[in-house]
Amino acid sequence: MTAWFVLRSAGLGSFVAIRGIEAVAQACAAWIGFAALGVRRSQSQADAVNLRNGAPLMLAAFATIVYMRIDQVMLGQMSSAAELGKYGVAARIVDMMCFVSYAIQSTTYPALVRNHGKSPAAFDSYLQRMFDVQALAAWPLMIGVGLASWLLLPLVFGEAYRGALPMLGILLLATPLFFLNQSWQAALSVRGWLWTAPAAAGIGALLNVGLNLILIPVLGGRGAAIATVVSYLVAGIGVSVIVPRLRPSAVSMMRALDPVSVMRRTYRQYAVELKA
């Protein structure tokens, strides 16, 4: 529907409306999913314990949304509408890849919980595997989307949007960082370090706002894209380096950013398991 509105040169109200419809559709899909899984109403009711345990994760999600969206708000105030339009297209393309990371995190989460119950060594080993899988998914996806956008974006949106390609290229650099951060936050929840995630996301949000104030007047949409990449880096690996108990996770994430080593490590790991 968004592509249709773009082709028809629809007004701003149409795009706002489709975002509202999208939110309602997601809520309905979640309700249908819970019903299909047989979740009883009593299991989904809010109580003090659930609210207390869920508050940190809700705050982390809110802070993440802030530094994923505040750049567009600030760009609209500090730059031209044309620059905002190009950046909005680039950001939306990158956002479409997020579901892959969510799928990996949700499917591997139960095994992460089981390994946490076994021993710290088993947990750290499996967490490294989660980081490796996320990185292995992120790199080809990033390259594929980048090449496809370079070929198709001007054809679909017109030559006026060719200027979105540099912004898209910078934003795509955040893909591996975003993927790794999803598994990192899952590990924090399993360990019970619930308030670390919102603290890290809050740092990322504040850094994003500060960098936007500096970079947008100079670089426009490219500055906003750089601010986003740096925010992802600091909110995950950066915070892990600073906090002593999180440094092993920082090392694991940095190891996962080397695609050659990850492929070798994954091959050896699964080759041993297949022989066993």
Give the per-residue pLDDT at 273. Answer: 58
Give the per-residue pLDDT at 48. Answer: 57
Q: 127 and 252 in contact (C-beta within 8 Å)?
A: yes
Q: Is 8 helix (H, G, I), strand (E, B) or coil?
A: coil
Give the highest mean pLDDT range of 193-202, 236-245, 267-276.
236-245
Distance CA 24, CA 6 (A): 22
* Band of residue 235 on the pLDDT scale cut at 50, 70, 90: confident
Distance CA 195, CA 53 (A): 10
* Percent of the chain residues topping a pLDDT of 70: 88
Give the per-residue pLDDT at 254. Answer: 92
Name the DSSP class of 235: I
Q: 170 and 215 in contact (C-beta within 8 Å)?
A: no
Arithmetic mean of pLDDT over the chain: 83
Per-position b or e across 222-257, b if 16+ CB within 10 A of its CB: bbbbbbbbbbbbbbbbbbbbeeeebeebbebbeebb
Domain boundaries, the chain: 1-45, 48-275
Give the per-residue pLDDT at 45. Answer: 56
Higher pLDDT, 217 or 46: 217
pLDDT (average), residues 207-221: 89
- Give the pLDDT confidence of 90-123 residue by residue, as tens digits: 888 888 888 888 888 888 888 888 988 888 888 8
Give the per-residue pLDDT at 262. Answer: 83
Give the per-residue pLDDT at 143. Answer: 92
Give the per-residue pLDDT at 271. Answer: 62
- Give the pLDDT confidence of 137-189 residue by residue, as tens digits: 999 999 999 999 888 888 877 787 888 899 999 999 989 998 998 889 888 88
Cα distances from 199 to residues 37, 45, 109, 213, in angstroms, run 33, 27, 22, 22
Cα distances from 157 to residues 36, 167, 221, 257, in angstroms, run 39, 15, 17, 33
Higher pLDDT, 144 or 265: 144
- pTM given for the model: 0.75
- Give the pLDDT confidence of 45-90 residue by residue, as tens digits: 555 555 666 666 677 667 666 666 778 888 888 888 888 888 888 8
